[in-house]
A and B are shown apart, each in its own frame.
Chain A
Amino acid sequence: MRLSEVWRTTTFRLSVVYGLLFAVGMVALLAMVYVRSAVYLTHRVDDILAAEAAAQVRVAPAALKPTIDAALTINGRNSVFALFAPDGTRETGNLSAMPAGLVPGGRPVEIPATAQFPVAARLIAKRLPSGEVLVVGRDINQLRQIRRIIASALIWSGGLIILAGLAGGTALSLGPIRRLRRLQAASHDIAAGNLMRRMPSSARGDELDMFADTVNHMLGEVERLMSEVRASSETIAHDLRTPLTRARSQLHRLEQAPSASPDQIAQVTAELDEVLERFVAILRLSELETRARSAGFAATDLDRLLRQVAELYQPLAEEAGVRLSLASTPGVTVEADAKLLFEAVSNLVDNAIKFTGDREGYDGEVRLAVEAEGPRIVVQDNGPGVPDAERSAVLQRFYRSERDRLTPGSGLGLSIVAAIVRMHRFRLELQDAAPGLRCVIDCGARP
């Protein structure tokens, strides 16, 4: 794992940004403490200096020098007392000369350590009525030390916080990087063709897990679609192989025979026509599945549509010995492509007649209905029905149950119905009619 990789992680950057923000906060806080305490302490010193100066000013001029000397004896280590003649010469005290910048009655001045007073001091000067200048001062070493302590605390804590932020960021980044590495490895494996592989996810349910779960769900869909495509290719190949093999062997027989009868040729043609028919159905299906346009959509009267379907299929039903009935509700309209919806219902009716008719001793019945609720189109038969396990599968593209394989036709009828229904964003449901199958096109559902 390279360091640059750590730097690039979001976790690391966030940790550093938060560390910096925290450091800035800490510095601001300490600076505030520093400034406030320094100002406070300085004021305290200034107050004391003012009080001491005032006390000396009140002393009689003659007693001033002895008073200063006495004060120096008592407190000469911590305080400065000095008296200067109007011409600036020192009369008494522990200060050799007036420091530059110190003005009688002006602002306090800080001076470094001198020979007489070995530590830094803060001084004020007062002019006496006699014209002499009185200087009073105090040791400010303590004040400076406090300032230093606060400043160093400030620097150290800021530095430590930044270091801790960097270290924490690095440590926190390592975990996600390791997990990303695992996700990467999984995705490479999947890209290489292992569609069974899934992204690793933990029980934590954090953002990486959410991402992995989303990708896994997508992979599931891809795997399902791939298997559908595979299954459909196999179905197409299987379906086409049978008539093509038959046509080939018939042609072979014709080649061997001394002369070909028109009947034999017609038989081969019929086999090839069957192949062509399936191709047309497959093309139709792919066309319907890629079509998302609703250009042909208009208000479609379901009652009228079902009447037309019933009229078209009545003769077929009669011949198959199936009773075809229509129970419709007039005045129900939906937005649809009437021709395509007609095709869908026709396919359902065709299937229903195909699977219900021609059964000995069986009273076949196919009922067509428009129900206002939904609104729904219902095609119901009392034939053998579709087993529970197969009901959702028959709606999948190219799925053909065993019973489909035995009946004529392209076998793609239900797939075409499903594609048309999907295009309309309606819903197709297959229900058990006990006995029989009940196909419902729910035109109200817009999933």
Chain B
Amino acid sequence: MTKILVIEDDPQTAEEIAACLTAGGFEAVNRFDGPTGLEAAKSERFDAITLDRMLPGLDGLELIKALREAGSEAPVLMVSALSDVDDRVDGLRAGGDDYLIKPFAPKELVARLEVLLRRHRRPEAEVRLAVADLELDLVKHEAWRDGRRIELLPMEFQLLEFMMRNAGQLLTRRMIFEKVWEYYFDPGTNLINVHVGKLRRKIDTPGLVPLIRTERGQGYMLHAP
């Protein structure tokens, strides 16, 4: 079972995160302050860590630096009430792998963790991605479905690559906007819907089994039938 270390000082938030993780098939271990969190992360092997930015005893940034210096490579999802671009940059620079802003939907936390775990397990140096009969050639920048070439604009290609890398995984609109476009503001629901819709019309042409599924009120999932 995938083990996640949850370092969060607010007991209620910690409990909620743990419940979500358990429901998502993970095993959650809670620590409520910086020093014990760091101790646990160093002494035990965890598949991923969620880390509150502001912790008693040891600040989240300090903790992650210490952890990386100790040689740990576990992916870290930082959770913070600070949404400033600079704070995000600080968090990622210190060694965090992703940054989630409070308040967040629990599903989004699980979704982001899964993306992190997947990326961590599989190196990005792949040259070819495939989901069912959909193939993506990362070197030639070509997409194929059912043996037919699909013409994609550069942004559409990046969007498809992101979705294929995380096939079978719920991707929220905000995650898509952050990972594909690398902007960190609220783009509004419609903007991402339209982009995914356009991609879907090219991928899931009539007669083929649809691969992109809408998760109502949450986001999208690309998956093999």
A residues engaging B (CB < 8 A)? 263, 266-267, 269-270, 273, 276-277, 279-281, 283-284, 287, 291, 293, 295-296, 311-313, 315-316, 318-319, 337, 339-340, 342-343, 346, 350, 408-410, 416
Contact = CB atoms under 8 A, between A and B. Distances in A.
Given A312-B191, A350-B191, A291 B84 contact: yes
Given A277-B186, A316-B194, A339 B103 contact: no
30 contacts: A266-B216, A266-B217, A266-B218, A269-B217, A270-B217, A273-B105, A276-B104, A280-B83, A280-B186, A281-B186, A283-B81, A284-B83, A284-B185, A287-B84, A291-B84, A295-B86, A296-B85, A296-B86, A312-B181, A312-B191, A315-B195, A315-B197, A315-B198, A340-B85, A343-B185, A350-B187, A350-B191, A408-B188, A408-B190, A410-B186
A2 B191 CA distance: 73
B54 interface: no
Nearest to B177: A312
Most A-side CB within 10 Å, residue of B105, B186, B198, B216: B186
Interface in B100-145: 101, 103-105
Contacts of A280: 83, 101, 103, 186
A284 B185 CA distance: 9
Contacts of B183: 339, 342-343, 346
A346 B185 contact: yes
B197 A319 contact: yes
B112 to A, nearest CB: 16
A266 B194 CA distance: 21
Contacts of A266: 216-218
Contacts, number: 69
Chain A contact residues: helix, strand, loop or mixed? helix
Nearest to A347: B185
Q: Pick from A267, A277, A281 the residue with the most CB of B within 10 Å.
A: A277
B186 A408 contact: no
A410 B190 CA distance: 13
Contact of B190 (A267, A284, A316, A340): A316
Residue of A283, A318, A408 with most chain B CB atoms under a 10 A cut-off: A283
A153 B83 CA distance: 84
Given A279-B103, A342-B183, A313 B191 contact: yes
A346 B83 contact: no
B186 A350 contact: no
Given A280-B101, A410-B186, A287 B216 contact: no
B155 interface: yes
Contact of B189 (A293, A312, A340, A408): A408
A339 B85 contact: yes
Given A284-B83, A284-B185, A291-B84, A263 B216 contact: yes
Nearest to A271: B217
A312 B105 CA distance: 25
Nearest to B81: A283
> Closest 4 CB pairs between A and B?
A270-B217, A343-B185, A315-B194, A316-B194
Contacts of A410: 186
Contact of A339 (B101, B184, B187, B189): B184
Contacts of B198: 315
B217 A346 contact: no
Contact of B83 (A270, A283, A313, A319): A283
B101 A276 contact: no
B83 A287 contact: yes
A293 B85 CA distance: 12
Contacts of B216: 263, 266, 270
Given A318-B194, A319-B197, 8 more contacts: A269-B105, A276-B103, A287-B83, A316-B190, A319-B194, A343-B185, A346-B185, A410-B186
Contacts of B190: 316, 408
Nearest to A275: B103
Nearest to A284: B83
A113 to B, nearest CB: 102
A313 B183 CA distance: 14
B217 A409 contact: no
B208 to A, nearest CB: 21
A388 to B, nearest CB: 28
A284 B82 CA distance: 9
A409 B86 CA distance: 25
Nearest to B217: A270
A338 B217 CA distance: 31
A340 B85 CA distance: 9
Interface in B51-96: 81, 83-86
Given A266-B217, A279-B103, A284-B83, A346 B187 contact: yes
Nearest to B198: A315
A38 B38 CA distance: 101
A287 B87 CA distance: 12
A205 B167 CA distance: 76
Nearest to B155: A311
A267 B218 CA distance: 11
A270 B187 CA distance: 17
A409 B188 contact: yes
A82 B216 CA distance: 140
A268 to B, nearest CB: 9
A293 to B, nearest CB: 8
Interface in B185-216: 185-191, 194-195, 197-198, 216
A281 B188 CA distance: 11
